[in-house]
Structure 1
Amino acid sequence: MRKRRLLLLALLIGYASTSWSQTRVSGLVTDDQNAPIPGVNILVQGASTGTVTDFDGNYALTVPGPDAVLVFSSIGFHQQNVTVGTKSTINISMVPDITSLEEVVVIGYGQVEKKDVTGAIASVESKDIVRANPVQAAKAIQGQAAGVIVSKQSSRPGAGYSINIRGLSSIDYSNEPLVVIDGVMGGDINALNPADIESMDILKDASSTAIYGSRGANGVIIISTKRGSTGKPVVSYSGYAGVKVPAHLPDMMNAQQFYKASVTDNELNGGTSRPFTSTEMDLVESGRSTDWLDKISDPAMQTNHSISVGGGSGSTNYHFSAGYLNEGGNLKNTKFQRYNIKGSMDSKVNDFLKVGFTANYSLAKQEMGSNEALRSAYRARPTGVAHYDEVLNPDENQELEWNGYAAWMGINDKQVLNPLIEIDPYNFQDETRSNTFFGNAYIELTPVDGLSIKSSLSASVDNSRFGQFRGTMTKDRKTTLLPRSFRQTDDISNYTLDNIITYNKKVGEHDFTLTGVQSSFQERNEEMDSYVDELPYNSLWYAYGTGRPVELDTRLTERSLLSYMGRLIYGFKSKYILTLTSRWDGASQLSEGNKWDFFPSAAVAWRLGEEDFINSIEAISDMKLRVSYGLVGNSSVSPYSTQARLVNTPYDFDGSEAYGFAPSNLADRNLKWEKSKELNIGLDMGFIKNRIGASLEVYNRKTVDLIYNEQIPTSSGFSSVTTNVGEVANRGVELSLNTVNVVNSKFKWTTSVNFARNVNEILSIGNDGIQADIATGLFVGHPLQSHYDYEFDGIWQLDEEEAASEYNQVPGSVKVVDQNNDGQISSNEGEDDRKVIGSEQPDWTMGMTNKFTYGNFDLSFLIYTSQGATYRNSMLSGTMGEVGAGRYNALNLNYWTINNPSNEYYGPGIANNPYRGAIFYQDASFVRISDITLGYTLPSTGLDKFGFSNFRMYVQVSNPFVFHDFDGMDPEFNSSTYNDGIPSATYLFGLNVSF
């Protein structure tokens, strides 16, 4: 009986303590106009308890006790935290969150609130850069900004990216945008530690880039790095470690498939195969095969560590950081290492004087490995043996012997060298070392309210050293010649002095911002090339004095730019905004009388969302219409292009060699600016309290007076002249969409989508009405980078033997279209059956990022696609040749034979196959799923006990999936060669910590 009483008492105490510790709270949530807000998330901080308001804004939930903190959050409103205390009713008035409108956008020599932007500008935030974990900062832009195409230049570690904004405009010169890093124009984006970046603002239309004049002709990317803010020091660490594995590799023939194609199918199709040695036959008959690509590739480690400290007092703020990156390559003996140090400081000396600086230093080392080794791995016969006695003792780990048998893999053909010998670092080295510094220092005076006078000196210094060593056993030295070494040094330095005056004034409902800039830029580039032969021992850098000098060449180029700029930003009632910009540029590399030119622009914006007839529509949160027109110039020709340069030329005088000087080029004394005129119309919209945000851009850009190396008659003594000729147009549409798809107390799903279509067209290529320049691939009415060749029409089949014979072909060979139906295939003028069969520029691109949060977990991934581009498949052209001839291995494809009359690829051994090149042009469209990241952030409760303010861990997979119909390899990495590295997928584990 006593035990029952004790049990009852314990239950009553437990019930009472539960009742005392829990509290029922209810209330009403309204906006600043006292209207109820449905769907507001209400969470108990540090717990999983939560609820949402109903349609009338009411809520009710049970909390642990009086110390509980309720967190109220909703799209379009500021988050609010309220301690329960003794209250059982808590009513909340939510404050509208206009942060998205007040967000600052950097526009060049200044900044404006996002709501006041009049041009076409896209932004990439720090959180998106961190999420992507790029080795190079440019990678973080891919798929994040409409109209910006970012493509990796190769698959080798440390490889850079090409960036193009709104299509190609220049024929022979760079289409890359200007990169401005903390005010340093021309800063090296590849030398920057991505963890140091706060934001990237991409200026796309002419009115936005006009403030940069000729330097912004191809768009501008303004990068702002992290700076300190007032408060106690914050130390942050971000790092990851993981592994890169080869991915998306071509399916090459194995030994048995290669033998069948080279002997059986070859002879079946009437061809004659190359002989196979007894060593090769032993490999074929034993069912073994040599996978050369596998033998020269390995998984590789990738690590990155960044640490920073930032803070400040009332007058001085600072931020310092250091980073280390080690990216291994999947091709053996390839690696990229980068060390970064960055510092910035801003100090307010007194009420009217402010000074500061930013400095970035990068030390990088890139080991590229052997191009020939990778090419050989694709082409080498899979019937060859990797080790000299592999047949007798198939031990793949034994030491390689340096002899001819190993070099030629036991086959009767010396066209391809053993890839394992070619890639050995003792035999081949390819290395680039670079030291890069860029930074600026400024002094700013504010003598009166609204007036700023600022002078900024920026400097960029890049010293790089490239070297390549080729030993005796490389293909280049043919296994008998002594080693060779080549080296090149580049010392590039430039300095910019900017003097900026800015005046802000508000008069009633009128807002004025006036900016005046004077800028001077100077650049100096020193280069030296040299190589020596017959080195007595293997050395990349230090054996020059022991070999036979072959070449020594030095070059010096200098250029300068002087500019004067002005800009007015005028706003009326925060509804109507006008931006006027003008720039006067003088470039040293243009001809006398054409060095100076004037580049104006104008843009207007109407904030329709502030008008009553739009504001009264409940579903519309914001709306702005923008129209801009601008003129920009491009002077990106090499210095001295307007002058005839002299070169040392040998002459024969009665059998004796003598040297004199002769002009190396024909000069155009009237070379002038390349100019682009652009009209841009934009519409920005927000719906359902900005839960849906959209931006639409339509543009038309015309570039005239193209700077082009025009072909001229050889009777002139020269092949071309750099001159102004031709016009190119880019017309397009861009759409950006940001949505909050689902949001409740535990789960949130957001999506960002951007789409861009650009139509590039050559309008003219000369003053004589020329419609095509076949030699340079320029065709009026078609895009730049077009392909001109015969059009593939399948494979001649057995029942088409008579028709094929009319074109002097046979079944199994490539059929092309007879464009003029004259019964012959010809490339002669007037009878040409070739045509434009596509361009390397895509029809459209799209990026989509999805982000999910559930409690403390987060998940995100990127989908990126490029559609409509046509590439000449370098893998096909480099390996197929005469398929089945037995010299080179080839892709394992559905080749035509008498017993397998496919209509895709020509047959092995088909001798009469003159138009086989038509098969190499393929659709390079692809869809890539990348940057799949799953993270977990530790709850804030308890973190402070360990001194942490944030602790997040994550796993990430980059480039695991790519879908395409391009034969052999990932089409994004297709280039003029197929030996630019091995595509990979990367698996990482990382931490983001702050304390």
Structure 2
Amino acid sequence: MSLLKKMRVIVFFLLFFPLIVWGQGTTVSGKVVSSDKQALPGVTIVLKGTSTGTTSDIDGNFVLSGIPNDAVLIFSFVGMRTQEIAVGNREIIDVVMEEETIGLGEVVAIGYGTTKKSDLAGSVSSVSGKHFKDQPVKRIEDILQGRAPGVEVTNLSGMPGASVKVRVRGTTSINKSSEPLYIVDGIVASGLIGLNPSDIQSIEVLKDASATAIYGSRGANGVILVTTRRGTEGRMEITFETSIGVSRLMKRYDLLNAYEYATALNDIWGSSTIPDADLKAYENGTKGIDWQDIMTQTGISKDYKLSISGGNVRSRYLVSANVLDQDAITITTNLKRYSLRANIDSEVTPWLTMSAKLNAARMHVHNGSVNLMEAINYSPAMEMKNEETGVYNKDPYNAIGNNPYGTRMANYDDNYRYYLNANGTLLFKIIDGLTLSVQGGYNYAHNPSYSFTSKLVAPGAINGMRNRSQLSLFWQNTNNLTWQKTIGDHNITATAVWETSKSQSADLDVSGSNLRNEAVVGYWNIGNADTKSESNSYSDTSIASGIARVMYNFKGRYFLTGTFRADGSSKFQGNNKWGYFPSAAVAWDLAKESFMNNQDVFQQMKLRSSFGITGNQGIDAYSTLGMLSATSYGWGTSTDYVGYWGDSFATPDVRWEKTYQYDVGLDFSVLSGKMNLTFDWFRKQSKDLLFKKEVPMYNGGGSFWVNQGEVKNTGVEFSVTAYPLKSSEVIWETVFNASYVKNEVVDLAGEDFILDATYSNYGGSMQIMKPGYPLGSFYLYPWKGFDDEGANLYQKADGSLTTSPTAADQAIVGQGNPKWTFGWNNMVSWRNWSASIFINAATGFDRLNLTRYALTSMTGMYKFITLRDAYFKGWDYVENKADARYPSHTNSNTKYYGNSDMWLENASFLKLKNISIAYRIPKQVVKFADMQLSVSAQNLFTLTRYKGMDPEVYNAYSGLDMGAYPVPRTFTFDARLTF
């Protein structure tokens, strides 16, 4: 063989020998399961030292070809311990992945970054998607209820699409701007109503100043961080889920029927009030109206969800869509919501990663304005409408408003909400450990609403229309430079941020009355009205912020976090524009000390402490400037002149409201993480409160803002997560939390008290702010039973009794915010079955049941009784007067006052909030997909002494129930398929 031929053979051998060896490798297959023998889809399997790899399919199976016998495979999955397994001579490798020490390895969002839960020095609560994935959640805020200690979530209405009240560690401000800051994927959001709950990966609640101070001026009321789901490596996965829900009124008032009502009317007002012929018709049921029955219905909801996700090592994507069609439990009320989300992540180069997120939503609520109190207070002994004219009749005995059924059938109101949220991020890896994140976000919200009032709603009614358009725009730019370095046992993370944001809003309101031709009805026909009016407003505000944070830990044993943020707001003037918000936290994990090495009970025993200052700029744009309002007037002739008056006064000295927060906490993890406990004591002191003062009209009227007063919240939080059972087949996880908050007004800048006279038509002021008492304190006449003639007796300030009290006799008798809140969630899985049960409770608060007052009153707006007990257990009806629960309705001395503690009730409750059962059908049965069926029930029962429909719901300030729309009982059936 010639030298040239020999060289060719050698080159060929060198070039192709590696491929020959590779081709002779083994094909390795297997299945990856969790410790409870559940298949794990999406597990990454990589040949160590190479980029060759795959991911497990939906059944946990994987196949890799050409694997050398001496190779090592790396198995990794979020929340599981990464494993390295030598192949050897095996062709089948089945892997059981163990979870990280439960909870401690979990990564949580902390604002402008993430960290392991075990490394936290501040107070953060986290709710994972697994705690609600099989529950038919319609509102994201409901996810937090009872699941995050220190977070109070109150339903203000059971109406589809209604908002909720969220408080983190109590109410901090007297101008009612105590809502937390919402951050969705790093961008400030005005709320969560436009998001699909199925898109949520996790929710973190930042509570103490160490966690919230990084949000400075907007962090005083707590921060809620929402992280949406993202695509994962692996083949395309398509999930389709459909559910149908059936809702009914959870509780009904026991009302008089038409015959009982007519009989009572004759007894009290005279026997000739209702003619005998009508009485017989009411008695035999040929006439009469059951208002609760006619105004309510079985609500049907249909929910459809589709998501598509997948990707490879370089790029990942997730696209989801949701359609919700929900009928309310009141007639003609409906919610339709459409949403679309796309999340894309791409590693463009080894030093640049791009991500983009887009969320669009459209919501439509039809006929959402319902006041059940008026409906159930309407007379059952009446005709519905005049059949000749088609005009609905008004209550002939009770002048409380238009026919409630007529307003649903003849009128309409439509409320639309359009949302567009977009943000993009460029992540630059500058050098090892140093990254720069540049993020831009844009939020668009448009809320047009249209209403029409027909002349058919009541005799002599004037028809009319109203169109309103509310628009808000928000831009945010965040530049985040982060340096992470480990030097021996020292771990340092330093963050520097420059952030700017801008908000604009516009409001246009146009209305018209006395339409010339009601047959020509449309959203745009206000020009058909004889009388027209319009108003509009505009605002533009901006914030600039500089942020710095350093997190340090030594051996995972000692922790230190320091944060500083400076915010400049356009709402303030001059030197008051900037607010400065520092915080610091320290922690010590005793379980990592050498003297704990010989024990295996505690995996964590961490002591935490923090202090910091956060701010509140909760005033309207231009509030510190002097504002003029225009009005027209006539002088001498019929000509109208335009004049201006001072609506608000310039207050250039108004500055940031500040909250000083203190926190001491303990974190324990025992029994290899099978039980985790957290305890926190906290104090929040809000000083220089932003408060709007009104100027009496005799001094020219108007208003102005001041920094006035101080409010304090002190409380404790406790939570425990435990696994009473954890075997290869059965897992039982239980999560319990409890929170206590004591709220107190400390100072009102020299004022002895401030009355809330918003609902003075019920007899006078009902709530008061006074140093030494909590916000939401009730200020009522103390009711002391009946006199010898059956009239209501009230206690005067000097202790004597009277039937005619005065304002000086009112006293502080209760408060409307819960002191204690509880949540208990249990999740059990066995083979292909899983079940969960969730209970929440609250205690230490009251509700002023003005609905019951309206159903029993003989004075004020409501002038007759419809509640059964008010008649049959009233003074005039019972033989033994000691058994009377309601006063005499025939005694002219009987005084009914809504601002009396006769209507104040203990509203403590315990609710079975959700119970669900799910079954995953084996793959061999459904060949083409993974399928799960589930059934669940919401608001199954409530234990309470409250006599209203729902102790949780109120619709006026802190604890006033004025016909609040109740939360319904719902049964839901769900099917989920994954391809």
Shorter-chain TM-score range? 0.7 to 0.9
TM-score relative to the length of structure 1? 0.84
Structure 2 equivalent of residue 285 of structure 1: 283
Q: CA deviation at 1:467?
A: 1.5
Which of 140, 165, 168 aligns to 1:165? It is 168
Structure 1 equivalent of residue 823 of structure 2: 847
User: What is the identity, as a one-letter code, of the residue corresponding to 2:894?
Assistant: N
Structure 1 equivalent of residue 438 of structure 2: 455
Which of 714, 728, 734 aligns to 1:751? It is 734
- 1:154-193 maps to which residues of 2 (within 5 A)? 154-193=157-196
Residues 1:109 and 2:112 are matched in the alignment: yes
Distance 1:928 1:668, change over 3 A: same
Residues 1:511 and 2:491 are matched in the alignment: yes
Residues 1:876 and 2:852 are matched in the alignment: yes
Whole-Å Cα distance in 2 between the matches of residues 104 and 542 of structure 1?
Answer: 52
Report if the CA contact (8 A) 1:818-1:825 is conserved. no
Whole-Å Cα distance in 1 between the matches of residues 453 and 480 of structure 2?
Answer: 52
Structure 2 equivalent of residue 566 of structure 1: 548
Q: SS state of the match for residue 132, structure 1?
A: coil
User: What is the identity, as a one-letter code, of the residue corresponding to 1:817?
Assistant: Q
Whole-Å Cα distance in 2 between the matches of residues 231 and 94 of structure 1?
Answer: 18
Distance 1:716 1:670, change over 3 A: farther
| Deviates further, 706-715 or 106-115 | 706-715
Whole-Å Cα distance in 1 between the matches of residues 397 and 875 of structure 2?
Answer: 27
Per-residue CA distance 1:328-372 (angstroms, 9 max, x = gap): 111111000110110111111111111121010001101134536
Structure 2 equivalent of residue 837 of structure 1: 813
Residues 1:787 and 2:785 are matched in the alignment: no
Q: CA deviation at 1:818?
A: 3.4
Whole-Å Cα distance in 2 between the matches of residues 834 and 295 of structure 1?
Answer: 39
Report if the CA contact (8 A) 2:793-2:801 is conserved. no
Which of 699, 702, 709 aligns to 1:726? It is 709
Residues 1:985 and 2:961 are matched in the alignment: no
How many residues in Structure 1 have an aligned counterpart in Structure 2? 881
User: What is the identity, as a one-letter code, of the residue corresponding to 1:592?
Assistant: G
Whole-Å Cα distance in 2 between the matches of residues 694 and 596 of structure 1?
Answer: 39
Structure 1 equivalent of residue 763 of structure 2: none
Report if the CA contact (8 A) 1:407-1:473 is conserved. no
Distance 1:983 1:260, change over 3 A: farther
User: What is the identity, as a one-letter code, of the residue corresponding to 1:881?
Assistant: S
Distance 1:778 1:272, change over 3 A: farther
- 1:428-507 maps to which residues of 2 (within 5 A)? 428-474=411-457, 478-507=458-487
Distance 1:272 1:628, change over 3 A: farther
Q: SS state of the match for residue 875, structure 1?
A: helix
Whole-Å Cα distance in 2 between the matches of residues 228 and 696 of structure 1?
Answer: 35
User: What is the identity, as a one-letter code, of the residue corresponding to 2:606?
Assistant: K
What fraction of aligned residue pairs are identical, expressed as a percent? 27
Whole-Å Cα distance in 1 between the matches of residues 894 and 617 of structure 2?
Answer: 46
User: What is the identity, as a one-letter code, of the residue corresponding to 1:613?
Assistant: F
Structure 2 equivalent of residue 11 of structure 1: none
Structure 1 equivalent of residue 940 of structure 2: 960
Structure 2 equivalent of residue 63 of structure 1: none
Structure 2 equivalent of residue 319 of structure 1: 318
Distance 1:713 1:980, change over 3 A: closer
Which of 393, 413, 429 aligns to 1:407? It is 393
| Deviates further, 981-990 or 100-109 | 981-990
Q: SS state of the match for residue 212, structure 1?
A: helix
Structure 2 equivalent of residue 889 of structure 1: 866
Residues 1:821 and 2:802 are matched in the alignment: no
User: What is the identity, as a one-letter code, of the residue corresponding to 1:527?
Assistant: D
Whole-Å Cα distance in 1 between the matches of residues 841 and 532 of structure 2?
Answer: 47
Whole-Å Cα distance in 1 between the matches of residues 38 and 332 of structure 2?
Answer: 54
Whole-Å Cα distance in 2 between the matches of residues 128 and 156 of structure 1?
Answer: 24
Per-residue CA distance 1:494-519 (angstroms, 9 max, x = gap): 10011110001111111111100001
Residues 1:362 and 2:348 are matched in the alignment: no
Report if the CA contact (8 A) 1:873-1:974 is conserved. no
Whole-Å Cα distance in 1 between the matches of residues 37 and 187 of structure 2?
Answer: 45
Per-residue CA distance 1:788-839 (angstroms, 9 max, x = gap): 111222333xxxx3xxxxxxxxx3222223342356688768xx33211111
Whole-Å Cα distance in 2 between the matches of residues 627 and 273 of structure 1?
Answer: 73
Residues 1:529 and 2:527 are matched in the alignment: no
Residues 1:778 and 2:763 are matched in the alignment: no
TM-score relative to the length of structure 2? 0.85
Distance 1:877 1:732, change over 3 A: same
- 1:697-716 maps to which residues of 2 (within 5 A)? 697-716=680-699
Per-residue CA distance 1:87-110 (angstroms, 9 max, x = gap): 9xx999996733521211100110
Report if the CA contact (8 A) 1:883-1:908 is conserved. no
User: What is the identity, as a one-letter code, of the residue corresponding to 1:440?
Assistant: N
Distance 1:225 1:930, change over 3 A: same
User: What is the identity, as a one-letter code, of the residue corresponding to 1:168?
Assistant: T
Q: SS state of the match for residue 102, structure 1?
A: coil
Whole-Å Cα distance in 2 between the matches of residues 615 and 727 of structure 1?
Answer: 48
Gap regions ≥5 residues in structure 1? 1-39, 47-75, 389-399, 802-810
Report if the CA contact (8 A) 1:561-1:586 is conserved. yes
Structure 1 equivalent of residue 655 of structure 2: 672
Which of 573, 576, 599 aligns to 2:581? It is 599
Report if the CA contact (8 A) 2:265-2:273 is conserved. no
Distance 1:450 1:283, change over 3 A: same
* CA RMSD between the two structures: 3.0
Report if the CA contact (8 A) 2:647-2:703 is conserved. no
| Deviates further, 478-487 or 116-125 | 478-487
Whole-Å Cα distance in 1 between the matches of residues 208 and 283 of structure 2?
Answer: 64
Structure 2 equivalent of residue 807 of structure 1: none
Gap regions ≥5 residues in structure 2? 1-33, 41-78, 758-766
Report if the CA contact (8 A) 1:615-1:621 is conserved. no
Structure 1 equivalent of residue 305 of structure 2: 306
Whole-Å Cα distance in 1 between the matches of residues 108 and 501 of structure 2?
Answer: 25
Distance 1:680 1:171, change over 3 A: same
Whole-Å Cα distance in 2 between the matches of residues 81 and 916 of structure 1?
Answer: 75
| Deviates further, 271-280 or 288-297 | 271-280
Whole-Å Cα distance in 2 between the matches of residues 817 and 259 of structure 1?
Answer: 34
| Deviates further, 91-100 or 970-979 | 91-100
Report if the CA contact (8 A) 1:622-1:686 is conserved. yes
Which of 886, 898, 903 aligns to 1:905? It is 886
Structure 1 equivalent of residue 67 of structure 2: none
Q: SS state of the match for residue 230, structure 2?
A: coil
Q: SS state of the match for residue 235, structure 1?
A: strand
Distance 1:314 1:485, change over 3 A: same
Report if the CA contact (8 A) 1:619-1:688 is conserved. yes
Q: CA deviation at 1:780?
A: 0.7
Per-residue CA distance 1:595-636 (angstroms, 9 max, x = gap): 102100001111122123345343323221111111001011
Report if the CA contact (8 A) 2:857-2:864 is conserved. no
Q: SS state of the match for residue 568, structure 1?
A: strand
Q: SS state of the match for residue 430, structure 2?
A: coil
Q: SS state of the match for residue 685, structure 1?
A: strand
Q: CA deviation at 1:783?
A: 0.6
Whole-Å Cα distance in 2 between the matches of residues 592 and 984 of structure 1?
Answer: 51
Which of 586, 590, 595 aligns to 2:572? It is 590
Distance 1:576 1:81, change over 3 A: closer
Distance 1:222 1:77, change over 3 A: closer
Q: CA deviation at 1:934?
A: 1.2
Whole-Å Cα distance in 1 between the matches of residues 82 and 539 of structure 2?
Answer: 57
Q: SS state of the match for residue 473, structure 1?
A: helix
Distance 1:113 1:746, change over 3 A: closer
Distance 1:651 1:537, change over 3 A: closer
Q: CA deviation at 1:714?
A: 4.4
